[in-house]
Chain A
Amino acid sequence: MSEVYKRKYTFGEDYGTSTYKFGPITLGEKPKMIENRGYFPDKSSIMYELMGGKREVVIGEEIPLFLEAREDLATRMVYPMKNGIIEIDDKKAWTVVREITLYGLRKFRSSEPDFEGFYVCASLSSVAPRYMYERLFEIHRKIDEEEGFVKAITIIPQPLAVAIAHKVPTCVVIESGHGNTQVCPISRYPIRRAIVALNRGGSDANAITSQILYDAGYGDLAKEEAVVRHVKEELGLVPRNLDVAIKRAKAEPERFKAIFKLPGTRLVVDLGEESWTRFLIGEYVFNPNHEIFQSYFKRGLPKPKDVKIGDVLFRGMLDFGEAIIEAVEKCPVELQPHLFRRVLLSGGNFEWKAPNEYSDVAVDSATKIKLLLKEKGIENVDVIVAGDPQYSVWRGCIVYGYAVPDKYEWTWERMEGWLKFR
């Protein structure tokens, strides 16, 4: 198939934990996005009938029209990719995946005479097991059978897509999302046997922020997830060294005063004498091992545990520096210096502010990673925070789909190539 065809009909799909990014190469720099979730309405509800009925799952902008009692949300709203892995028998989650995939492809189906279907490059978590690949292929095969949208499909791991989007062929990618973090060395291929997965992500920073709000007398706000996230983003800081930062913040309370007004409301959060705790929020993401966190665990903050999902062990308490070293040291010795040279940080969990007035004690994500590696004897590392992190994976998919030759067929041994249904 010609390069001209792929310039028109390469299609990227990023099944992220919270959003599904999709669209053809012709969109340019940014994909379309919808929330990666589905709502299973109560079929006995009159709204279900009045809105057309006979729909098992509702996705996208229509969801608010079907929402019922708040207590039903937990069972009726399904986020299929919440930790990157869908259980093989989780029918509801797979139904949502099928529905959003169909939605995405329908949105861009072409009426051009030369259209024979898209070259679809989808992206999954690097720890996704083989059955997830098989299910996703099957979903696309059925959609192609019914509507003729898919000429060929391939699936790549998200960290590889990030490395491609940022034009770096040899590096370590850390993809840190809401629920977990994946550390994946890349050297022209993803080095799958060296992947290290962590059971820690943005939601853990939310958890400690909630506890800090509770301690500061904002017990009511501590339960509101949106408020907690706002406070984390506005007040949370990543310390250069946690002990030094706490000492300085306690000595100069006025300078480090943490006050934040919630936009559009009259609510003001003032951590007051507890303002030094803002440094705990950032530190906890990168390294939860400081002894100060023990008191939080004792008071009910859930300690990140080692969990096994599928065949993958997600580590709870490994700091990001150790995780990078562990991943790289699983690779050939000759390759290790090249991998340590470039570390790419991707995902919303690396977007931390480092205000100039606190430059003596607060740092950005890249500097923190460098410091963690330096503590363990690794220096001169080029750490980059990926720009436009929410679009990186989709962009990588587009490059991959565009560049990989049509004749390169899928093999399970390599987990690469095009799978064709016709």
Chain B
Amino acid sequence: MGKDGRMVEVQVKKEIIEKVREYFLSRGFQEASIDELNLKVRPDLAFTRNGDLVFVEVLEIGALSDRSLFMKALMNTSALRDYCNLLYIAAPKLLAVIIDSSTLSEYGVGLLTVGDKVLEAQPATYRPIKSVKPQQVSIEIPEIEELKKIPLIEERIRELERVIVELRSTISNLQGKIYSLSSRVESLEKLGIQVKTKIPKPEVKPEVTAPVEVSSEGLPSFLKDNPWVSILSKRGEERVAA
């Protein structure tokens, strides 16, 4: 990107910072001085309310063309995790489509999408601040080492997703079977057959229960006086001609 492009980026970032500031101030937060926090890795914005500390890291528009830039930003941000109660990434709306929110969720990081309005697309997880004093903060692991872990983390997340999908499928199967068994047990009970093991009905209710009562009118008009009813009711008894 050339000089002009960089200037546009800076301008966009300023606008995002302004909107996010407005967003938090309108919710009763007070802006905290970042200099006084004395951190080696500095957030773009910091707020306090009732003793809670919130950090916000703004994601630059450049991440749109390079997803690894976003991951790098996330890793930088992760260095701040232990020194605030709530940690957010603020991203332009345009970037929302490339953000893998499950990764953010794993880190307990919230996501603010910034367009005309600021929206909390994903809440941050509240964490107590560790007792380490800010003055002692230092990044012991070089950034490059952190970046090397990304593929492993992503693989682990994919594995967890696979497990969840399998679990959901198993639960769905079990619900169906319990439902079917429960109906059968009930019908047997109505016939006077004692069933010793009572199978509880699943809590999941049908989306729609069809009105199964046959109307007093009987069959629908297309069934009445239909010569096919007689023809079809003999299927299996006749020799197939065609």
**Which of A's residues lie within 8 Å of B, judged by CB?**
4, 7-9, 23-29, 42, 44-47, 49-50, 53-54, 68, 106-116, 145-148, 163-165, 167, 169, 187-191, 395, 398-400, 402-405, 407-409, 414, 416-417
Residue from the list B183, B206, B227 in contact with A167, Cβ < 8 A: B227
Q: List the A residue with the shortest CB-CB distance to B219.
A: A7
Residues of A contacting B226 in the complex (Cβ-Cβ under 8 angstroms): 164, 167, 399
Of the candidates B113, B164, B220, the one having the most CB atoms from chain A within 10 angstroms of its own CB is: B220
Interface residues on B, range: 35 or more
Residue from the list A8, A115, A169 in contact with B183, Cβ < 8 A: A115
A46 x B228 contact (CB < 8 A)? no
Residue B215 lies at the interface, judged by CB distance under 8 Å to chain A:
yes
Residue B1 lies at the interface, judged by CB distance under 8 Å to chain A:
no
Residue B176 lies at the interface, judged by CB distance under 8 Å to chain A:
yes
With A111-B209, A402-B229, A408-B236 in contact, do A46 and B97 touch (Cβ < 8 Å)? yes
List 17 A-B residue pairs with CB atoms under 8 Å apart, sorted by A's residue number: A8-B214, A26-B210, A26-B215, A28-B215, A28-B220, A49-B102, A68-B97, A107-B208, A111-B206, A112-B183, A113-B187, A115-B183, A164-B226, A164-B232, A167-B225, A169-B231, A416-B235
CA of A114 to CA of B186 in the docked complex: distance in angstroms? Answer: 9
Of the candidates A4, A146, A187, the one having the most CB atoms from chain B within 10 angstroms of its own CB is: A146
B97 x A112 contact (CB < 8 A)? no
B183 x A54 contact (CB < 8 A)? no
Residue from the list B164, B207, B240 in contact with A414, Cβ < 8 A: B240
CA of A415 to CA of B52 in the docked complex: distance in angstroms? Answer: 71
A50 x B101 contact (CB < 8 A)? yes
Q: Nearest 3 A-B pairs (CB), nearest first? A: A148-B180, A408-B236, A403-B232
CA of A84 to CA of B110 in the docked complex: distance in angstroms? Answer: 47
Residue B172 lies at the interface, judged by CB distance under 8 Å to chain A:
yes
Min CB distance B157 to A, Å, is 12
The 8 A CB mask of B77-109 against A (1 = contact, 0 = none) is 000000000000000000011111110000000
Residues of B contacting A28 in the complex (Cβ-Cβ under 8 angstroms): 215, 220
Residue from the list B206, B225, B240 in contact with A106, Cβ < 8 A: B206
Residues of A contacting B168 in the complex (Cβ-Cβ under 8 angstroms): 54
B173 x A146 contact (CB < 8 A)? yes
Q: List the B residue with the shortest CB-CB distance to A400.
A: B232
A110 x B212 contact (CB < 8 A)? yes
CA of A42 to CA of B165 in the docked complex: distance in angstroms? Answer: 17
With A148-B177, A169-B227 in contact, do A187 and B222 touch (Cβ < 8 Å)? no
A402 x B223 contact (CB < 8 A)? yes
A107 x B207 contact (CB < 8 A)? yes
A25 x B101 contact (CB < 8 A)? no
Min CB distance B152 to A, Å, is 19
A165 x B232 contact (CB < 8 A)? no
Q: List the A residue with the shortest CB-CB distance to B223.
A: A399
Residue B233 lies at the interface, judged by CB distance under 8 Å to chain A:
yes
Min CB distance B206 to A, Å, is 5
Q: List the A residue with the shortest CB-CB distance to B210.
A: A108
CA of A116 to CA of B241 in the docked complex: distance in angstroms? Answer: 34
A111 x B183 contact (CB < 8 A)? yes
Residue B195 lies at the interface, judged by CB distance under 8 Å to chain A:
no
B235 x A44 contact (CB < 8 A)? no
A188 x B241 contact (CB < 8 A)? yes
B233 x A405 contact (CB < 8 A)? yes
Residue B132 lies at the interface, judged by CB distance under 8 Å to chain A:
no
Residue from the list A114, A148, A395, A400 in contact with B176, Cβ < 8 A: A148
Residue B35 lies at the interface, judged by CB distance under 8 Å to chain A:
no
Q: List the B residue with the shortest CB-CB distance to A191.
A: B242
A408 x B235 contact (CB < 8 A)? yes
B183 x A165 contact (CB < 8 A)? no
Q: List the A residue with the shortest CB-CB distance to B213.
A: A26
A8 x B212 contact (CB < 8 A)? yes
Residue B18 lies at the interface, judged by CB distance under 8 Å to chain A:
no
Min CB distance A351 to B, Å, is 20
A112 x B212 contact (CB < 8 A)? yes
Q: List the A residue with the shortest CB-CB distance to B165.
A: A54
CA of A113 to CA of B184 in the docked complex: distance in angstroms? Answer: 7
CA of A139 to CA of B172 in the docked complex: distance in angstroms? Answer: 16
The 8 A CB mask of B152-179 against A (1 = contact, 0 = none) is 0000000001001100100011001101
CA of A253 to CA of B208 in the docked complex: distance in angstroms? Answer: 56
CA of A407 to CA of B235 in the docked complex: distance in angstroms? Answer: 9
A46 x B99 contact (CB < 8 A)? yes
The 8 A CB mask of B16-50 against A (1 = contact, 0 = none) is 00000000000000000000000000000000000
Residues of B contacting A191 in the complex (Cβ-Cβ under 8 angstroms): 242
B222 x A398 contact (CB < 8 A)? yes
Min CB distance A384 to B, Å, is 15
Min CB distance B229 to A, Å, is 5
Residue B190 lies at the interface, judged by CB distance under 8 Å to chain A:
yes
Residue B197 lies at the interface, judged by CB distance under 8 Å to chain A:
no
Residue B12 lies at the interface, judged by CB distance under 8 Å to chain A:
no
A165 x B176 contact (CB < 8 A)? no
B98 x A44 contact (CB < 8 A)? yes
Residue B121 lies at the interface, judged by CB distance under 8 Å to chain A:
yes
Residue B221 lies at the interface, judged by CB distance under 8 Å to chain A:
yes
Residues of B contacting A398 in the complex (Cβ-Cβ under 8 angstroms): 220, 222-223
B210 x A164 contact (CB < 8 A)? no
A26 x B212 contact (CB < 8 A)? yes
A46 x B121 contact (CB < 8 A)? yes
Min CB distance B221 to A, Å, is 6
Min CB distance B184 to A, Å, is 8
Residues of B contacting A113 in the complex (Cβ-Cβ under 8 angstroms): 183, 186-187, 190
Residues of B contacting A116 in the complex (Cβ-Cβ under 8 angstroms): 184
Q: List the B residue with the shortest CB-CB distance to A403.
A: B232
Residue B211 lies at the interface, judged by CB distance under 8 Å to chain A:
yes
